[in-house]
Amino acid sequence: MNDKQPKPKREESRRITDVGTLKAFGHPLRLKVYGTLRVAGPSTASQLASQVDEAVSLVSYHLRKLAEHGLIVEAEVQSGDARERWWQAAQDTLSFRHEDFKDTPEGAATHTAVVRALIAQREEQYNTYLDQQAAWGAEWRIAADQSDFLARLNPAELTRLNAEIHALIKTYEEQGKAAEAAGDTKGRENVAVHLASFPFRI
């Protein structure tokens, strides 16, 4: 890709509904590479390899697999070396739902495996914060939160609750991006917000 080509358009959101794409996405290293691209923005295979501590050749292979399924796209070259290949996530948000995969054993098993892999990565991310929290300083330690809530809801109420939480978080995401674009960068860091809501019985 050269500077004369238009910048690829990112989708605002994409819902994965086919098992082939979900399998491609669900490889542990691809999850890590995709997640790194979301946070870091356009990157080369070499930069990503350094971030995920893997060989460049292996990362390049997995980037091609993600690209084959439209999960990432080539980005504008961010350096003076036109030979470098830059990548970016193809969408701002990516989702997949059990309902789209429940009708086949392979689909249901793949969905469960990918969700478990994502939960494991989120746990690793939070454990890293716990290991390093002393270095973040008092302001960040006070601002950070780990909470557990219990509500008695029906499915419609849970659906509405999730929609309202998502909308609120989206508002803060957009406010943060706008403030940063306007030059208000002091004290800003990447913030992970993990949400899980599900029924259970005792």
Q: What is the pLDDT of residues 106-160, one digit of tens each?
A: 999 999 999 999 999 999 999 999 999 999 999 999 999 999 999 999 999 999 9
Closest CA to 6 of 54, 65, 76: 76
55/25 Cα distance (integer angstroms): 19
Question: Cβ distance 12 to 93 under 8 Å?
Answer: yes
Query: Which band of pLDDT confidence, cut at 50, 70 and 90, is reported for residue 101?
Result: very high
pLDDT at 105: 97
Q: What value does the mean pLDDT of the chain take?
A: 93
161/55 Cα distance (integer angstroms): 43
Query: Which band of pLDDT confidence, cut at 50, 70 and 90, is reported for residue 1?
Result: very low
